[in-house]
Amino acid sequence: MSKRLSEIMEERTILSFEVFPPKTDKGMEKLPDTLNHLYKYNPEYVSCTYGAGGTNVGKNMEVCKLIADADNDTIPVTHFTCIGNTREGVKEQLQNYLDNGVDHMLALRGDLPFGWTGTGGDFAYATDLVAYARKEFGDKFEIAVAGSPEGHIACRSLEADITFLKQKQDNGADYIMTQLCWDMEQFKYWLDAIREAGITMPVDVGIMPILDMAATINMALSRNGCVMPRELCEIISKNWIFPNPFDKEPFDAAADEKKAAFKEAGKEYTIRQIDEYRACGVNGIHLYALNKWEDVSEIIDRSGICTLV
């Protein structure tokens, strides 16, 4: 392993991006150009997701190899879930990642596909996956784990969620990637609480740029149950598209103007959020690039988080 992200984060705040495997060949053709534009910001790593239930996992490997083979020092980090995975299957898949030059992973339970009540595999929780990966592979992988500043929606309490996060650390995890969180007071409370609980892992904060109204609402409520602060709700309300932002053919004559106004206000909101997170002393800023580079680049440039020298 050439470098450990957790050690770098102990020294300075890092920047990274998240992408996802495109569903179409055309999308895959465009991804290298997107990555090349993001590389100019010298990210320490780029993580790659895959779909619920392991869909697109083959394309995930393709994207990770694309990042690994780039002519720079950017590290590929694969998302890896418990969904439908057996012990032997996990061992085989992780060895395949190692054989292809990918030795950093984000260990997750994963979002359950619609209609599922469990993972359908040998591991029910990410804590089990972390322990198994360490047992089978030792220090060959650097392992990130998810942290939920508002508590995981499936967990009985924030306090219980924090104890499970501590268990992930005890089982061998190296650093935390947080779920998105717009409630800064809650984030500060959580950060103090995990430190008081003995969790010393670096905290890399996941931030979704606010660019599209429907996507913002969907991301907050469909999986995560995130609090939407008054300021963000006002941006949505002031630019509400009638009958609703999910309607593909709205009757609102000002729909295009409202979309543009929302995007601009959303960028400003995202930049202020980056400022607040940096002021908290987090160890990393992890931007969900959404497989696009123009808006993300503008946010980075306007935030001043990177000095291109």
Q: Which strand (E) or helix (H) includes residue 265? A: helix 255-279
DSSP character at residue 40: T
Does residue 106 sit in helix, strand or coil?
Answer: strand
How far apart CA 72 and CA 288 sit, in angstroms, is: 20
How far apart CA 46 and CA 106 sit, in angstroms, is: 11
How far is CA 24 from its chain centroid? 22
Q: What is the per-residue burial (b if ≥16 Cβ within 10 Å, else e) of 79-95?
A: bbbbbebeeeebbebbe
How far apart CA 232 and CA 184 sit, in angstroms, is: 12
Structure tokens that stand for 182 in this block = 């717009």
Does residue 205 sit in helix, strand or coil?
Answer: strand
Both ends of the chain: CA-CA distance in Å? Answer: 27
How far apart CA 104 and CA 133 sit, in angstroms, is: 11
Under 8 Å between Cβ of 73 and 41: no
How far apart CA 290 and CA 16 sit, in angstroms, is: 13
Active site residue 11: no
Query: Residues 7, 10, 18, 294: which is the catalytic one?
Result: 18
Measuring CA to CA, how many Å separate 270 from each of 137, 205, 226, 267, 305? Answer: 38, 13, 16, 5, 12
Count other Cβ atoms within 10 Å, centred on residue 235.
Answer: 22
Count other Cβ atoms within 10 Å, centred on residue 309.
Answer: 4
Q: Which strand (E) or helix (H) includes residue 79? A: strand 75-81
Query: Which residues have a catalytic role annotated?
Result: 18
